[in-house]
Structure 1
Amino acid sequence: MRTINVGLIGAGFMGKAHSLAYAAMPMFFWPAPAVPHRKIICDVTEEAAAEGAQRYGFDESTADWKRVVEHPDVEVVDIATPNHMHAEIARAAAAAGKHIICEKPLARTAEEARTMYEAVRDAGVVHMVAFNYRRTPAVALAKRYIDEGAIGELISFRGTYLQDWSADPESPLSAGGADQLGTGRSAGDAPRGPVDVDDEMITMLRFSNGAIGSLEATRNGHGRNNFLTFELHGTEGSIVFNYERRDELQVCFASDGADRKGFRTVYTGAPHPYGEALWPIPALGIGYGETKIIECHDLFQAIVGQEAVSPDFGDGYQIARISDAILESSATESWVSVPPLETTPGRG
């Protein structure tokens, strides 16, 4: 079985999640498309990198991310750094012919994302953005229902991401150590300072098929931990998902008899997406780590099979365009159109 060497840049919270996935993926998906080998890890200092190597099981460590990109044995560069570093590292990794997985968001702006997308497209490497929530089995099941036409033509969409883990003004800045996210005042000497990003947002959406929608996010929703939800209504039914109850999908079908119409709960398990590789009993429970394991499998499957993978840098670029359009819409108090992006999915 083929072994693929990984170079990880960033040894914080996401580095931990990715390292877990590299170790566990063959245990869940067997035979694995390839066995990940944790070759080299990079962090901000030599000491932190060495600690990361010991903690996460990497052979080598460095404080210079260019060593990872230029390492002759590394096939996959994993970018788990703060957002402002993504573009430079991704462009360099693409130029070196490495396959790339980059944490979300792909970039800070659409222009930055464009340079990253063009770099991987021109290099012909496999490229993935780590939107791992998409690989929650209940989310994949919702997509299956939509694609099958189970809820008919989509009419409306509502998405929320409500949290309270940074509502406390004494909580640390996220740049002060990602392992401290959500710990509030207990984060000790982690740095604190004025917040310079949006804490509250809501936007209206119009889709090309005529559907309407909304997106809402807050970091000040006391009582909401990771309330990442979507609700879809179609001509033939509705779907509701809440990540805080990630093993469940709420569905209602218009074809149900009047005496039994209402939402039912589907508990994901073996019959559902990714179920054969996870746990054998529905509602036995999956966590954040399993979504990263699935993500790792799909990336390595794409590399070995020379296939497209989704979501890729083209998807990340389009999302950055949408994000920029939301900011423009807020500033101009007007609708802003985002045309479709013509891309070659997943591999250059």
Structure 2
Amino acid sequence: MAGKGIAVIGAGMIGAAHASGYRTYGPRVDGLSTRLDTVCDANADLATKLARNWGFARLANDWRAVIDDPEIDIVSVCLPNFLHTEVTQAALKAGKHVLCEKPLALSAREARATHDLALTASGKSGTVFNYRRIPAITDIRARVNAGELGQPVQIVIFYQCDYAADPMLPHSWRYEFDRAGPGALLDVGTHAVDLARFILGDVDEVSGAISTISINERFLPAETATGHGHVALSDKKAKVDNDDVMSALLRFRNGAQGFVTASRVAVGMGNRIQVEVYGTKGTARFSNELPTHYDLAVFDGKGPAPFTRMINRPSSPYVGELAAVPHDLVPIGYAESFGFMIHEFLSAIAEDKPFENGSIEDGYRAAQVLDAIQEASMTNAPVKVGGEE
């Protein structure tokens, strides 16, 4: 068959983001022919809907069959957290190109094993850190690296969601530590940690952390539940044993400090990311609620430094090359940033080069920080990052 076959394993909400990215940006990669081959999910209705919506040719209900299929060359792992390690490692061993959803694993030890395997695997591989491709975030990082903000002093990142704020949402794997790992910390805090590393570099220590479970138990569903949707509830409840909110104080290898906080119960916040970077010469700030621009203030030594609005332009990262409408002030949303990541991943395959911007190693390094945050929240003491090595 012509073109490299693409499979999306997991037909839930995030599987649709992968499918959209492959369909929209796959044809835009020079030197690579792809085809939307298989959607795999144990829920046949979900798989059928996703395949129909995005133009995949085949369905499967067993991820092992997908991994063994010689017609499949590229695999997106979009399954619950507790399956990431097993499926990603199987795909790497089979020589597939693999893009694994965050978190890469439930722990740094598991992530290290996947990372070590990826080092010798024949396929390209990466972790889903799509927010790196927001033009404002990429540009802020470039300014930090160029010294335009001076010596980095502090980074503050809020990732606040409200998808779990309703106590009548059913219990699921997301609320079980054994299957999801830490709750808000791994679900959305992984992105916050990765953005902190992306902008300021490696974290040396977690100086302190605190976690909160605000909804201690939830009703079990009376029917199959997917995503964050409401379904009929049974009269039985199950314990929630992972965090609804987690906050941490970080110390970076370059001497800067950071504060990251992640919540899944922040009423009214939807899916909000706010990034603020402070240096000795300037400040940059961005919110995904205002996706057309970010704000930059640089001290010129003469007086107060006002903020300047740095708008999206065709010269902004990704905009001129990949945005559907490369024009001033055009918002770049979630789907675009996700698609930019898919384009980079497929380009790495086409050019036979490592996928470095959100690599498996980045997933592993984020896992090290996440482990240290968990430990600091339990011990109420500073924790060096990388203690599992």
Asked if these proteins are the same fold (TM beyond 0.5), I'd say: yes
Q: 3-state DSSP class of the match of 1:228?
A: strand
1:189 is matched by which residue type in structure 2? A
* 2:341 counterpart of 1:298: no
Choose from 80, 85, 105 the match for 2:103. 105
Q: Any idea what the Cα deviations from partners look like across 1:27-63, whole Å, max 9, x if unmatched?
A: 6x4x645243111110014454334322331111110
Choose from 352, 368, 372 the match for 1:325. 372
1:107 is matched by which residue type in structure 2? A
Choose from 154, 165, 177 the match for 2:226. 177
Choose from 287, 292, 295 the match for 1:250. 295
Matched ranges for 1:10-21 at <5 A? 10-21=10-21
Once the two structures are aligned, what percentage of the paired residues are identical?
Answer: 31
1:39 is matched by which residue type in structure 2? D
Instruction: Give me the CA root mean square deviation.
Output: 2.3
Q: 3-state DSSP class of the match of 2:383?
A: coil
Q: 1:339 to 1:107 in 2, by over 3 A?
A: closer
Choose from 235, 238, 247 the match for 1:202. 247
The CA distance in 1 between the partners of 2:327 and 2:302, in whole Å, is: 29
* 2:231 counterpart of 1:188: yes
The CA distance in 1 between the partners of 2:54 and 2:99, in whole Å, is: 18
**Number of the residue aligned with 1:346:** none
Q: 1:129 to 1:43 in 2, by over 3 A?
A: same
* 2:369 counterpart of 1:307: no
Q: Is the 8 A contact 1:157 1:212 kept in 2?
A: yes
Choose from 120, 123, 128 the match for 2:121. 123
1:64 is matched by which residue type in structure 2? D
**Number of the residue aligned with 1:233:** 278
Q: 3-state DSSP class of the match of 1:302?
A: helix
TM-aligned CA deviation for residue 137 of structure 1: 1.0
Choose from 297, 302, 307 the match for 1:263. 307
The CA distance in 1 between the partners of 2:301 and 2:136, in whole Å, is: 21
The CA distance in 1 between the partners of 2:33 and 2:232, in whole Å, is: 39
Q: Is the 8 A contact 1:4 1:35 kept in 2?
A: yes
The CA distance in 1 between the partners of 2:231 and 2:329, in whole Å, is: 37
The CA distance in 2 between the partners of 1:174 and 1:270, in whole Å, is: 43
Q: 3-state DSSP class of the match of 1:244?
A: coil
The CA distance in 2 between the partners of 1:35 and 1:306, in whole Å, is: 14
Choose from 37, 40, 48 the match for 1:39. 37
State the TM-score, normalizing by the size of structure 1: 0.89
Q: Is the 8 A contact 1:23 1:36 kept in 2?
A: no
Give the number of aligned pairs.
332
Greater percentage in strand: 2
Give structure 1 stretches of 5+ with no counterpart. Answer: 343-348
Q: Any idea what the Cα deviations from partners look like across 1:247-279, whole Å, max 9, x if unmatched?
A: 2211110127536x2212111131100011212
**Number of the residue aligned with 1:164:** 162
The CA distance in 2 between the partners of 1:145 and 1:92, in whole Å, is: 39
The CA distance in 2 between the partners of 1:340 and 1:241, in whole Å, is: 32
Q: 3-state DSSP class of the match of 1:271?
A: coil
Q: 1:174 to 1:296 in 2, by over 3 A?
A: farther
TM-aligned CA deviation for residue 234 of structure 1: 0.7
TM-aligned CA deviation for residue 227 of structure 1: 2.0
**Number of the residue aligned with 1:345:** none
Q: Is the 8 A contact 1:25 1:32 kept in 2?
A: no
The CA distance in 2 between the partners of 1:161 and 1:286, in whole Å, is: 18
TM-aligned CA deviation for residue 194 of structure 1: 4.0
2:86 is matched by which residue type in structure 1? E
Greater shift in the superposed pair: 279-288 or 166-175 = 166-175
Q: Any idea what the Cα deviations from partners look like across 1:95-142, whole Å, max 9, x if unmatched?
A: 111110011111111111112112221213211111111111111111
Q: 3-state DSSP class of the match of 2:70?
A: coil
Q: 3-state DSSP class of the match of 1:318?
A: helix
Q: 3-state DSSP class of the match of 1:39?
A: strand
The CA distance in 2 between the partners of 1:194 and 1:58, in whole Å, is: 38
Q: 3-state DSSP class of the match of 2:22?
A: helix
2:306 is matched by which residue type in structure 1? G
* 2:119 counterpart of 1:95: no
Q: 1:327 to 1:258 in 2, by over 3 A?
A: same
Greater shift in the superposed pair: 220-229 or 329-338 = 220-229
**Number of the residue aligned with 1:56:** 54
The CA distance in 1 between the partners of 2:172 and 2:333, in whole Å, is: 22
TM-aligned CA deviation for residue 290 of structure 1: 0.5
**Number of the residue aligned with 2:219:** none
* 2:262 counterpart of 1:217: yes
TM-aligned CA deviation for residue 18 of structure 1: 0.9
TM-aligned CA deviation for residue 224 of structure 1: 1.8
TM-aligned CA deviation for residue 170 of structure 1: 1.2
Q: Any idea what the Cα deviations from partners look like across 1:138-163, whole Å, max 9, x if unmatched?
A: 11111111121111110111111122
